[in-house]
């Protein structure tokens, strides 16, 4: 298990300075966020060439919506995502994190043929096939993220992410991302859910129960980290949370705290 941090939480006037700070604090990876990510490939490769801190993942950055009734919106999401996946391969990242849909359903209810949820699942399986094929072609992954019920209605738990991937034919090029903040809300037992998902998990997001840095809330990370070790997880775990204090103090402390939770 390797610690990473999202770029926008790291202090520094340049990417090189951010990488230097992360390296000195014991982080191994950096997660990127933002639109038109493909324009940063050269910058990132140059900066990371001389650093032990490597790109972990790209968090979204696409426009549009995969499950919108407007085909133009769906195509924008696919086009942007395919560009980001190509860029992810170019920088050697694990993959691109994506959320199928935020909020309530947008598709119409076509009962008795299919209700909104059934239509969404059928459409999502086709989206997964496209993203997986693109990711595999670029030696990277599309990473499906389950979110809590207050942010999306569709994929809330790890098992639901696994089920929809299996419904799409279990293609290479797609895995799931497990976020401790969302799991704290949705999973009956975080460690058991991680064990059940097994090697479908290819990336982790870390945040405490209140979306602050780990150690500031009531989430017990040790059982989840133990379960990750048991399934052989050795990829990145990236901080996606608020840093309320001085990042020069809080980020190294967070790394120390998290290492103490690992088996």
Residues labelled as active-site residues: 145, 240
Distance of CA 230 to the CA centre of its chain: 21
DSSP string, the chain: -EEEEEGGGS--SSHHHHHHHHHHHT--EEEEE-SSGGGGHHHHHHHHHT-S-EEEEEE----S-TT-SSHHHHHHHHHHHHHHHHHHHHHT-SEEEE-S-SBS--SPPBTTTB-HHHHHHHHHHHHHHHHHHHHHHTT-EEEE----TTTBSS--SHHHHHHHHHHTT--TTEEEEEEHHHHHHH-SSHHHHHHHHGGGEEEEEE--TTSBSTTSSS--HHHHHHHHHHTT--SEEEE-SB--S-HHHHHHHHHHHHHHH--
Cα dihedral across residues 148, 154, 160, 165: positive or negative = negative
Q: Look-up: residue for tokens 């993942």?
A: 57
Angle, vertex CA 19, rays to CA 223 and CA 233, nearest 5? 25
- How far is the C-alpha of 118 from the C-alpha of 103, rounded, in Å? 16
């Amino acid at each position: 298990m390797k610690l990473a941090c999202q770029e926008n939480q790291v202090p520094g006037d340049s990417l090189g300075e951010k990488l230097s700070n992360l390296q000195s604090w014991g982080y191994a990876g950096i997660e990127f966020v933002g639109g038109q990510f493909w324009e940063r490939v050269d910058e990132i490769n140059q900066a990371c060439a001389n650093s032990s801190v490597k790109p972990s993942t790209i968090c979204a950055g696409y426009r549009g919506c995969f499950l919108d009734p407007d085909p133009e919106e769906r195509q924008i999401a696919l086009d942007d995502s395919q560009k980001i996946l190509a860029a992810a391969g170019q920088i050697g990242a694990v993959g691109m994190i994506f959320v199928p849909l935020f909020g309530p359903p947008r598709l119409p209810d076509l009962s008795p043929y299919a209700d909104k949820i059934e239509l969404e699942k059928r459409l999502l399986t086709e989206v997964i096939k496209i993203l997986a094929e693109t990711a595999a072609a670029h030696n990277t992954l599309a990473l499906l993220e389950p979110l809590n019920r207050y942010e999306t209605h569709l994929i809330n738990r790890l098992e639901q992410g696994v089920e929809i991937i299996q419904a799409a034919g279990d293609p290479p090029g797609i895995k799931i991302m497990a976020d401790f903040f969302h799991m704290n809300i949705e999973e009956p037992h975080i460690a058991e859910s991680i064990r059940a998902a097994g090697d479908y998990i290819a990336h982790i997001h870390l945040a405490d129960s209140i979306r602050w840095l780990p150690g500031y809330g009531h989430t017990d990370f040790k059982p989840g980290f133990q379960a990750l070790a048991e399934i052989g997880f050795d990829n990145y775990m990236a901080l996606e949370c608020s840093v309320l204090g001085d990042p020069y103090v809080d980020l190294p402390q967070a790394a120390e705290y998290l290492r103490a939770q690992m088996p």
